[in-house]
Chains A and B, each alone.
Chain A
Amino acid sequence: MANLTLIQAVNDGLRTVMKADDSVVVFGEDVGPKGGVFLATEGLTADFGDSRCFDTPLSEDGIIGTAVGMAMNGLRPVAEIQFQDFIFPAFDQIVSEAAKLRYRSGGQYTAPMVIRTPYGGGIRGGLYHSQSGEAYFAHTAGLKVVIPSTPHDAKGLLIASIQDPDPVLFMEPKALYRSVKGEVPEGEYTVDLSTLRTVRQGGDVTIYCYGAMVPVVERAAAQAAEQRGIECLVVDLRTLMPLDEEGVLEAAKQTGRVVVVHEAPRFCGYGAEISALIAEHCIEYMEAPVRRVTGFDTPFPNTLEHHYLPDDRRVLDAIESVYDF
Chain B
Amino acid sequence: MSSAIQILAPDGSVVGEPPGLSEAELRGLFVHMLQIRCMDGRMLKLQRAGRVGFVGTATGLEATLVGAAAPLRPEDWLWSGLREGGAAVMRGLPLSEYVAQMYCNANDTAKGRQMCNHFQHKGTNYPSWSSVIGTQITHGVGAAFASMRRGEDTVHAIHFGDGATSSNGFHSGLNFAGVWNVPAVFVCTDNGWAISVASSEQTAAKSFAAKAAAYGFPGYEVDGNDVLACQSAMADAVERARRGEGPTMLVLKTYRMLGHSSSDDPTKYRSDEEVAAWAERDPIARFERYLIERGIVEEGERAKLEAQLLTEIDAVIHEQEAAPPMALKTLVEDVYAEVPYHLRREYNDFIAVAEKLGHAQPGDGAFPL
Contacts and interface: CB of A to CB of B under 8 A. Distances in A.
B52 to A, nearest CB: 18
Question: Most chain-B Cβ atoms within 10 A of its Cβ — which of A51, A61, A96, A243?
Answer: A61
Nearest to A244: B341
A102 B128 CA distance: 11
A29 interface: no
A245 B263 CA distance: 44
B359 interface: no
B94 to A, nearest CB: 14
A144 B342 CA distance: 13
A46 to B, nearest CB: 19
Nearest to B108: A106
19 contacts: A61-B169, A62-B172, A65-B138, A65-B142, A66-B142, A69-B140, A73-B142, A77-B142, A97-B139, A102-B334, A102-B335, A103-B113, A104-B113, A105-B120, A106-B334, A107-B333, A108-B122, A194-B341, A245-B342
Interface string A143-167: 0100000000000000000001110
B16 interface: no
Q: How large is the interface on A (under 10, 10 to 19, 20 to 34, 35 or more residues)?
A: 35 or more
Interface in B101-118: 108-111, 113-114, 118
B267 interface: no
Interface string A104-130: 111111100000000000000000000
B138 to A, nearest CB: 3
A62 B138 contact: yes
The 10 closest A-B pairs by CB, nearest first: A65-B138, A69-B142, A66-B142, A62-B172, A69-B139, A73-B143, A69-B143, A106-B111, A242-B340, A73-B146
A141 B113 CA distance: 14
A59 interface: yes
B132 A96 contact: yes
A57 B127 contact: no
Contacts of A77: 142
B145 interface: yes
B82 interface: no
A279 interface: no
B135 A141 contact: no
Given A65-B135, A102-B336, 15 more contacts: A61-B138, A65-B169, A66-B145, A66-B173, A68-B142, A69-B144, A69-B145, A71-B142, A73-B146, A93-B135, A106-B109, A107-B333, A166-B336, A194-B341, A243-B342
A21 interface: no
B180 to A, nearest CB: 8
B135 A108 contact: no
Contacts of A28: none
Interface of A: 25, 51, 56-57, 59, 61-62, 64-75, 77, 89, 92-93, 96-97, 100, 102-110, 141-142, 144, 164-166, 194, 242-243, 245-246
Given A106-B108, A246-B341, A72 B132 contact: no
Contacts of B212: none
Contacts of B341: 194, 242, 245-246
A51 to B, nearest CB: 6
Contact of B128 (A25, A71, A105): A105
A72 B143 contact: yes
B110 A105 contact: yes
B130 interface: yes
A254 to B, nearest CB: 19
Nearest to A164: B337
B149 interface: yes
Most interface-central of B109, B172, B173 (chain A CB within 10 A): B172
Nearest to A108: B122
B150 interface: yes
Interface string B147-187: 10110000000000000000011011101100100000000
Contacts of B137: 65
Nearest to A95: B132
Contacts of B113: 103-104, 106
Contacts of B176: 56-57, 59, 62, 66
Contacts of A72: 127, 139, 142-143
B120 A51 contact: no
Contacts of A105: 109-110, 120, 127-128, 334
B120 A194 contact: no
Nearest to A77: B142
B141 interface: yes
